[in-house]
Amino acid sequence: MTHLHGTTRTNTISFSNVLFSFLLSEAASQPSVCGRAPRNNRIVGGVVAPDGHWPWQVSLHRIFGSHFCGGSLINNRWVLSAAHCFESLSAGQITAFMGRQTQNGPNPNEESRGVSRVISHPNYNPSTSDNDIALLMLSSTVGFSDYIVPVCLAAPDSSVHTGVPTTVTGWGTMRENGFVTNELMEVEVPAVGSRQCNCNYGVGRITANMICAGEGGRDACQGDSGGPLVLNTNNVWVEVGVVSFGIGCARPDFPGVYAKVSRYMDWINSQITTNQPGYVTFRSTGTDSDLSVTCPGLPPPAPTTPATTTPAPVVCGEAPLNLRIDGGSSAASAGIWPWMASLQRNGLHVCGGTLVSENTVMSDAGCFSSSAVASEWTVVLGRLQQIGSNPFEMTFDVASITLSSLSGSNVALLGLSTKPTLTNYIQPICLDDGRTFAVGSTCWAAGWNSGRGGDQQVLQEIQTSVANCGNASSADTICTSNFTVEQGDVGGPLMCQQSGSWFQAAVLTLQDNTTRTSRADTVTVLDRVNRFNAFLTENLGTFLSPSSASGGATAHAGSVVSVLFNLLVLATSLQLFL
């Protein structure tokens, strides 16, 4: 068998078919800016990629030489590429070009940098091309523009089913053994399942660290190795593969083979310890047709459901990393409030919310006064800061938005397109089902007001306590010592702990609290979640229950590592939520 890599298949694009790219919107800064191409606004296009359509694309040159491999910008100083590109090259022999469109002519939007380090994966195998992935550290940081933007990377729990459209880009040859092109090219290629790809290449040739894509007439080719294979999810481009190898170019039975990016988050983050790349979860829906593929020597697919075990029921109100004590800091740390959700429109945070079931987020209905179209919204779970690295976050499309219709304030339920994988950083909160929150008991509020949290807009929290409502008292209200709710906090929770589990007592809303009580010391007045129980029961069914072993957060606090981690973060807390 012939597999092509290095200078032989320094591997993008044979274009016999029509190509296309997708609509993206602009965001603010890395990694929240990742995967957004402000100038990419076409649906179907030609062979040549217009300027700025793929702003993470990198062209790697030998010093005083020509293009030899591609790469992708993943933050302001690091490039992701293929290990086989650097088997005979050192960092000092390489120049990286960002914002480049043509290899022969002016590139007014271009930036170039030397390369100070090349780090190939320690388990890269040149014979099999397994773990064919590498990181390049630029000699200095590069600024972002419409033409230079980092790409998002596929998170570890991503799945790409057979037939999902992906796009590969580069300056590779237009046909097998042809000449490289001067213009950046693009082609849409369908994903090919690993079972089918193994049957094509020979069972055992395609490992779990590889992903395949392509079909006859559309493929990567010589000159594109190290370049990105990307797909679009909710106007964000995510790199799922790095061009690695293949037999020929665009042959009907041999799709291109790529290093599977979702397998390498831990390794990438171990090398890039500051300003880490942005990660996005992409999950295909439905059943993957690749599971039905068989050929001689190919083992049957692993069973999709356990044969003898029953999954443990999902419980609510558990926060394994929450070591919060009275008088804690105003800046939350990762995992402290694992039900917190960031509701985003056009890639920007609008409101807070909470995970209240296995696939539903609750927020304030007022957040959707400008638009209640589900496709315009995404939900981010596991996020700590709005600007900067969030290695534990997952992003979900919104499938539905349902608003309650009581007089006064109302709540919204957002159905997520897929169920989140529950971790220490993503858990549902319990809902108030008519509980008593005694005056004086401690509660907390949390949110992402853009005016708080420093440059990275870290999730802010405030400790408060249940107060007497005075003449604002009713069965539908709960009052606390006064604190200010601002726009970015709206939709977030007022949460109180009982018997070791956390319950959401209210949804944060904007209101003039001082006019609703005659008490001399003002209080914050909120509508209790219990007020919406009929609506919530109709749409959620039975509420999730807390763990019967009511250790809740404290029962999970035995990890010395978790304790030290949270104490470290608390020691570096930012400004007050108030």
> For residue range 334-348, what is the model confidence (pLDDT) as tens digits?
889 999 999 999 889
Distance CA 395, CA 155 (A): 10
Rounded Cα gap, residues 318 and 553, in angstroms: 5
Q: Is the pLDDT of residue 3 over 50?
A: no
Instruction: Quote the pLDDT of residue 405.
Output: 94
> pLDDT tens digits, residue range 370-408?
999 999 999 999 999 998 878 788 899 999 999 999 998
Residue of 21, 225, 262, 333 marked active site? 225
Q: How many angstroms separate the CA atoms of 118 and 92, rounded?
A: 9
**pLDDT tens per residue across span 457-499:** 899 999 999 999 988 778 899 999 989 898 899 999 999 999 9
For the residues 168-196, what does the mean pLDDT come to? 79
Q: How far is CA 311 from the centre of its chain?
A: 26
For 507, how many CA atoms within 13 A lie in the half-sphere containing its CB? 28
Instruction: Note the Cα 392 to chain centre separation in Å.
Output: 9
Question: Annotated catalytic residue: which of 130, 132, 288, 364?
Answer: 132
The pLDDT assigned to 50 comes to 74
Q: Which of 19-28, 93-102, 279-288, 442-451 has the highest mean pLDDT?
A: 93-102
Please tell me if the domain spanning 14-280 has the same topology as the one spanning 340-571. yes
State the pLDDT at residue 2. 31
Report d(CA 247, CA 256) in Å as an integer: 8
Of the chain, the end-to-end C-alpha distance in Å amounts to 66
More confident residue, 515 or 432: 432
Rounded to whole angstroms, the maximal C-alpha distance in the chain is 84
| Whether the predicted pLDDT of 420 surpasses 80 | yes
**What is the model's pLDDT at position 521?**
58
**pLDDT tens per residue, range 496-545:** 999 999 999 999 998 654 444 444 457 899 999 999 999 999 999 999 99
Helix and strand tally (H, E) in the chain?
A: 5, 29
Q: What is the pLDDT of residue 174?
A: 53
Q: Would you give the DSSP letter of residue 201?
A: H
Q: In the prediction, which pLDDT does 111 show?
A: 96
Catalytic site includes residue 225: yes
pLDDT at 473: 78
Region for residue 214 given its phi and psi (left: phi exceeds 0; alpha: psi -120 to 50; beta: otherwise): left
The bridge status of strand 185-192 relative to strand 78-81 is unpaired
pLDDT at 343: 97
Residue 286: pLDDT over 90: no
Task: Look up the CATH number of domain 14-280.
Answer: 2.40.10.10
pTM: 0.53
Beta carbons of 54 and 150 less than 8 angstroms apart: no
* Closest to 529 measured CA to CA, from 518, 517, 537: 537
* Alpha carbons 123 and 132: distance in angstroms, whole number: 9
Rounded to whole angstroms, the Cα distance separating 55 from 51 reads 8
Is pLDDT of 86 > 90?
yes
pLDDT, tens only, 230-264: 999 888 899 999 999 987 565 667 899 999 999 99
Active-site entry in 5, 61, 67, 84: 84
User: For residue 475, what is the enclosing H or E element?
Assistant: none
Q: Where are the domains of the chain?
A: 14-280, 340-571
Mean pLDDT of the chain: 82
Coil, strand or helix at 549: coil
Q: Which CATH superfamily is domain 340-571 in?
A: Trypsin-like serine proteases (2.40.10.10)
Active site residue 67: no
